[in-house]
Amino acid sequence: MGDRMQAMAQAVRGLCAQPSTSLIQTTAIYETAPWVGSGGDPNQPWYLNAMVAIETPLLPEALLTLCQHQETQQGRQPAVERQHNGPRVLDVDILWCDAFPAYQSPTLTLPHPRFATRACTLVPLLEHWGEWVHPTTGQTLLQLHQALPSVEPVRLHSVAPWGALLPVG
C-alpha cells in the first residue's frame, strides 16, 4: 500500500495547488479498524483518518473529480480491481460543502450520506467543528457523535504533517 502518511500529505498538497484554493484547517490523524463486516480484510492495517477544510471556488462535481484524481495519483486502484473495503492507499471524501448545504447528483451527495453515523469521521471533526449543524438532521456533530449506538475504536495516530500548508496569521 505504500506510505499512507505520504499519500495523505501529497493529496492535501494537490488539492491546495489548485488556483484560488487554500487549506483552512486540519485535524490530527486518527486510526480506525478496517470495515471487516462488509468485505474488508481483518488482517489489513487500520485505516488512517484525517479531516481538512479547504476554501475553493470549485463546484462540487469539479471538486469530486479533483479528489478522485488525487486518489489515482497516489496509487489508489479502482474498486473493481480491489476488494470492497479492502486495503487502499487513499480514500478522499467530500463530507460537506458550505456553499451547497444539500447537493444531489448521480455521482455525489452532500452532505456525505454516511459520515454522520461513523466515529471515524466524527471524532476528527470534533476537534474544530463540533458545533457545526448538519443541514439534514439539524444536529451538531457533537450531538451526532453522542447518538452513535456504539463507538468503533478511534485512536490518535499523529499530528498531520501538512500543517505547514496552513496560512500564517
Which of the following is catalytic: 88, 114, 118, 155? 88
Give the Cα separation of 136 and 101 in Å (integer).
9
Q: Roughly what angle, to the nearest 10 degrees, separates helices 60-73 and 4-16? A: 140
End-to-end Cα, the chain, rounded Å: 36
Instruction: Look up cell 451527495; give the residue.
Output: 109
Which of the following is catalytic: 3, 13, 41, 93? 93
Among this protein's residues, is 93 annotated catalytic? Answer: yes
Q: Which residues pair with 23 in a beta bridge?
A: 54
Which residues belong to the active site? 76, 88, 91, 93
